Structure 1
Amino acid sequence: MRPKVIPVLAALLLSGCAPVQTVVNPAQLPAATDFGAHANPMEWWYVSAYLPAEGLALHWAHFRVQDSRVPVPLMISHVAVTDLRTGQLTFLEQPAGTGEVTSPPLRVRQGAWTLTQAGPEPMAPLSLKAGPLNLTLTPVKGPVLHPPGFSGSADTGVLFYQGITRLDLTGTVNGRAVRGQAWLDHQWGNQIPGRSVLWDWFSVHLDGGQDLMVYRVRRLDRSVAQLIGSVVEPDGRVRAVPGEVWDSPSGRRYTVGWRLVSDEFDLGVQAVRREQELLSRSRRIEYWEGPIEVTGTWGAAPAVGTGMMELVSGPWSP
């Protein structure tokens, strides 16, 4: 019976049945280099990349779910690869089970899937081996804590939010040589995605060297709990985006065309491919994840960029 116990417990934790822990204090922010595991109900490490020259988009996610009713943390991981030349979307999942996270150097493992850092230094390269992915990720910029350092609110739960916004990517996808740039996120806290909160998230690499992150956290009634944005400059400095205002052009469940406006920029965001809905049996949520292209202005200058977008719609029952 034990093989059935772990998936059931994972589903309970991800459905929001786990007791909310109160160890997440937004007034005590972690270091930007804090990539290790934490004693919180929810934590994840996440790599995404849009490779226009290769006609590919990909993301890998590793979730660490922890609760006092379970003797060890549960791990869940998945990989999605979109071949934009053929229109094929491949989504692979590992069922809930055991694994490990250690740091420094960072090592994340579930089964044969691993993310391993070459050394304890924050800028040390990382190796990602997961299903069709065999990649080397070399940080171009150092780790940052996205202002204000967390996502969410008291009523939705809070996740600390740090990562590396630009990494050089080389390696293979399904045995095919690729290169480009990637984005690495790390979040942890007491927020349960798809169950206690929904969100819309954008990561953009601009041709001018800036990296833009915009994050809208929504309650289950679709009201906005938080809207944050950050810019990581070409030299690695991070700052909050001033005066941002969102204008969604459509009422679709997955709004794949957006306009992001602030005092500093006016950017149009468009999905490269619409058919990017992912139905996760392990996480029990439905969401859209795929590549985006960005055009508009930054200050007085034209701006062009590429990135990934994630739109969490809500719970899903297989």
Structure 2
Amino acid sequence: MGRRWLWLSSTLVLCLVVLVTSHTALLGFQQAVPGYTWQFPADHAAHPAYRTEWWYYTGHLRTTTGKRYGYQLTFFRHRVDSPGVSLNPSQWFADHIYMAHMAITDVSAKRFVYGEKLNRAALGLAGASEQRYHVWNEDWAAERLGGMHYLVGEIPGYKLKLIVTPSKPPVLHGAAQDGLSQKGEGKGHASHYYSFTRLKTEGVLHSSEGPMDVVGESWMDHEFGSSQLTPTQVGWDWFSVQLTNNTELMLYIMRHQDGSVDPHSSGTLIRPDGSSVHLPRAQIHIQAHAQWKSPKSGAVYPQRWTIQIPTLDVTLHLEPVLAEQELVTEHSTRITYWEGSVTVHGTLQGQATEGVGYVELTGYVQRVTL
């Protein structure tokens, strides 16, 4: 009963957010604009002056017996009150709400399982530290200690404990490679955005078969902003690719209600030495060769993509390891989206290559508002 009451209370708070925070600038939220000065590791922590923030991990794991798993673990922070304004000193007052998603793709069993959490900041149920990188939602958590990230999460049938260690420095996305990732036309329709594009991963995955030692590689995104999408944008198609030659690729395509692609869509190619190249929309060509219709939501998602970047002589083919990798998050963000592990093969500057990746597809059921 207590959990149900807390969920209902948080849901009411979430509805209030939609009504109260539609005019971001009037409430004093900072916007993602040029001139931000990054300071690591401090910037791994929370930025409560911005309305919305998330820390996002995906990865590809393998056991000693060769079984393969994909995973996602994401933490969301959404501010309810205006920065600098305290409406109620009570410990029950919620100035933030926190949401989290976790998913496991069991490649061998062709099984996809996910879970979600929603809590208020009150009473320590969930939170994100401003002093150091530590974000949690009940018993799920991500924390940085000694340069390593410690991840913990549990959903029905699976419990994950991982240590992920960056193999490359953080990559700042955006046209100026300063971390300002423009999502649409106009001031503030952007996020401050960086990634760890390759993290050495080790830990334990518990399942019905018992504990299994796992190793692999992960990807981490961290974004914060206050009014990222324009009124005509409905969602995005986002791609992350990790190739065996130590090259990575991030692309996002912002979609409008009329089906057109926003010219601010872009990407980043990360070289083996950690240096990066910004990719404007004109250099990115993405074609889907199939579709999958969800039996749960009825959404039709594109599948099986070819990515071409002619200026860099890149052609990559992406294939989902499983079609059914959809999350219907009715009890947290209330966004239905497809987030799936993919295999990759193709050519890079005339050389055959292969790898793994993750694809995120939003706005195919309802418009995303950020």
Is TM (by shorter chain) over 0.5? yes
Taking the TM superposition and a 5 Å limit, the aligned residue runs for 1:222-233 are 222-225=259-262, 226-233=264-271
Residues 1:41 and 2:91 aligned together: no
Show the counterpart of 1:185. 221
Show the counterpart of 1:6. 10
Identify the match of residue 323 of structure 2 among 274, 289, 302: 274
Show the counterpart of 2:183. 152
Taking structure 1 as reference, are residues 142 and 104 closer, same or farther at Cα in structure 2, changes over 3 Å only? Answer: farther
Aligned with 1:313: secondary structure? coil
Shift of 1:212: 0.7
Shift of 1:18: 3.5
Distance 1:36 1:267 in 2: 34
- Note the residue ranges of structure 2 that are not aligned, 5 or more in a row: 83-92, 293-299
Distance 2:204 2:221 in 1: 21
Distance 1:220 1:4 in 2: 31
Give the residue type in structure 2 aligned to 1:67. Answer: V
Distance 2:108 2:230 in 1: 31
Aligned with 1:153: secondary structure? coil
Shift of 1:244: 1.9
Aligned with 1:224: secondary structure? coil
Structure of greater Rg: 2
Give the residue type in structure 1 aligned to 2:11. Answer: P
Distance 2:321 2:6 in 1: 43
Show the counterpart of 2:102. 79
Aligned with 1:222: secondary structure? coil
Taking structure 1 as reference, are residues 2 and 19 closer, same or farther at Cα in structure 2, changes over 3 Å only? Answer: farther
Show the counterpart of 1:202. 239
Distance 1:171 1:299 in 2: 35
Show the counterpart of 1:295. 345
Give the residue type in structure 1 aligned to 2:77. Answer: R
- Could you tell which deviates more after superposition, 190-199 or 128-137? 190-199
Residues 1:173 and 2:205 aligned together: yes
Deviations 1:81-140 (A, max 9, x none): 111111221111112322222255411112121111113xxxx01100111111001111
Show the counterpart of 2:133. 106
Identify the match of residue 360 of structure 2 among 310, 315, 318: 310
- Note the residue ranges of structure 1 that are not aligned, 5 or more in a row: none
Equivalent residues of 1:278, 1:289 under 8 A apart: yes
Percent of aligned pairs with the same amino acid: 27
Give the residue type in structure 1 aligned to 2:38. Answer: A
Taking structure 1 as reference, are residues 56 and 81 closer, same or farther at Cα in structure 2, changes over 3 Å only? Answer: same
- Could you tell which deviates more after superposition, 166-175 or 212-221? 212-221
Shift of 1:238: 1.9
Name segments (4+ residues, structure 1) moved above 6 Å.
Answer: 192-195
Q: Which has the higher helix share?
A: 2
Aligned residues between the structures: 313
Q: TM-score, normalised by structure 2?
A: 0.77
Distance 2:340 2:289 in 1: 18
Equivalent residues of 1:151, 1:161 under 8 A apart: no
Identify the match of residue 239 of structure 1 among 249, 252, 277: 277
Deviations 1:184-236 (A, max 9, x none): 00011124789964010111110111111111112344322232111122221
Identify the match of residue 211 of structure 1 among 241, 248, 255: 248
Equivalent residues of 2:252, 2:266 under 8 A apart: yes
- Could you tell which deviates more after superposition, 307-316 or 137-146? 307-316
Give the residue type in structure 1 aligned to 2:143. Answer: T
Distance 1:260 1:16 in 2: 40
Aligned with 1:147: secondary structure? coil
Taking structure 1 as reference, are residues 154 and 71 closer, same or farther at Cα in structure 2, changes over 3 Å only? Answer: farther
Q: TM-score, normalised by structure 1?
A: 0.89
Aligned with 1:208: secondary structure? coil
Identify the match of residue 64 of structure 1 among 70, 77, 80: 77
Give the residue type in structure 1 aligned to 2:237. Answer: D
Taking structure 1 as reference, are residues 171 and 183 closer, same or farther at Cα in structure 2, changes over 3 Å only? Answer: same
Deviations 1:223-259 (A, max 9, x none): 2223211112222112213622223334663111111
Taking structure 1 as reference, are residues 192 and 153 closer, same or farther at Cα in structure 2, changes over 3 Å only? Answer: closer
Equivalent residues of 2:194, 2:221 under 8 A apart: yes
Show the counterpart of 2:304. 257
Aligned with 1:90: secondary structure? strand
Aligned with 1:241: secondary structure? strand
Aligned with 1:235: secondary structure? coil
The RMSD of aligned alpha carbons is 2.7
Aligned with 2:174: secondary structure? strand
Equivalent residues of 2:119, 2:137 under 8 A apart: no
Aligned with 2:165: secondary structure? strand
